[in-house]
Chain A
């Protein structure tokens, strides 16, 4: 235990942690910035929605390490290539959930909205997005946890982050350094999961929570 704490107190640890968080946050933001507008854009067309969801599914089945490996020959080594790879990783779950979430809104509700004279934009912002919010947030949470965990692999293409510790531990055959790296990543992933779970609940409209509780009875 003391051995692990010693590693954590080392001067370099803070920097690795910061890089890891930076990589994850930026990758997630880029992923959101790409996936959400695409989901909104395809929302009106069943065909393009299906295309988006299928691309998302294919993207999700590619292993994280493979995506990082693809980034290497194209973008080279370092922080930016890692960021690009992680952003690519974040897109599929957000895209899938946002597209399905928006499409799953009961067509009768959308019809009523249209029949009362809401414009397409008003239906999207006032009806579809709030009703789909829990599903959209679940997608962002999945992406966030995946990005935090996969950022560990950035070390292989020189992206830095907590993966550096694990690799260093292997090279020096030092179990404490390995554990310090592994545990920090695990804790970071759990915090991410819990934090986004909280956000997901916070952004679920109260009426939907009531409905969910009623159905559960």
Chain B
């Protein structure tokens, strides 16, 4: 667990704090997304966890211990770190890039080697093909995968990720996000994830900390709660006018409580139960009918109607 205790940061020569009295907890195994407009101190907050930046006041505890209990370099070797421009070392091969932290920790060679194989497979890069290549020989998306693998190399319990999927096109970004969520299902790391993109925050976060200018915490909650009950006008504006639709993207139609279609399904569009409610709504509107049939791998056919979708959004009118 990571605890921020009344953490503030004011840079020398400035009177305005960039982070102001920040207090919240990141629970083990959760992705906590720090999100907000530029100048809200989200990156500064993240960088104070591994002491790339030292707070002016307040304390950050990791598993109950102040993060100042050991030297900065020693601390950083225990915390995974992935950044937007990836920062792969251009003069080292993919394998050597991933090996950096294990080498700093004096792992023996065979252990490092097998760890590299394991990680490349985890992020979907065939080890035999990519191990010996150089960063310049990889596409942007592949480099980001290596960036994630490198951050995971020494199997740190905590990972810091600063817009790790920021440098790729939207389609690849969405794919990387899905892949990473799948990986997180397996590895269950405690992750602090920085983004300026509220959609990414909603998709990736178990919990979201919305910061506003001057580094003040505006709301810290689950995506569901933030979309249903924004704590202030600032949060309401920041999540956007389509917050009801965004909420629908948190739920899959397969998880909805729907009636069996019985004989009523004739001539209606069939929708996969893996679709988010938002995407299903889009399909229904595209088909020009207010109803559709939800079907998964099995034979069960259930009826999705506009009314059943509206029932979900009740109590959260914009």
Contacts and interface: CB of A to CB of B under 8 A. Distances in A.
Interface string A111-125: 111111111001000
Interface size class of B (residues with CB under 8 A): 20 to 34
Interface string B81-119: 101111111111100000011001000000000000000
Contact of A115 (B52, B74, B104, B134): B52
B41 interface: no
A114 B52 contact: yes
A108 B84 CA distance: 9
Given A115-B160, A117-B76, A117-B104, A109 B89 contact: yes
Interface stretch (A54-62, A147-155, A202-210): A202-210
A114 B53 CA distance: 11
B264 to A, nearest CB: 57
Interface size class of A (residues with CB under 8 A): 20 to 34
Contacts, number: 82
A117 B137 CA distance: 26
A39 to B, nearest CB: 19
Could you tell me the dominant secondary structure of chain A's interface residues? Answer: helix
Nearest to B87: A112
Chain A CB within 10 Å, residue with most, of B83, B93, B100: B100
B136 interface: yes
B101 A214 contact: no
Contacts of A207: 89-93, 134-136
B262 interface: no
18 contacts: A106-B85, A108-B85, A112-B87, A112-B88, A113-B100, A114-B76, A115-B81, A116-B77, A116-B100, A116-B101, A117-B101, A127-B89, A130-B91, A131-B91, A207-B93, A207-B136, A208-B91, A214-B137
Q: Across the A-B interface, give the 4 residue pairs with the lowest CB-CB distance, nearest first.
A: A112-B87, A117-B77, A211-B136, A117-B76
Interface of B: 50, 52, 73-78, 81, 83-93, 100-101, 104, 134-137, 150, 160
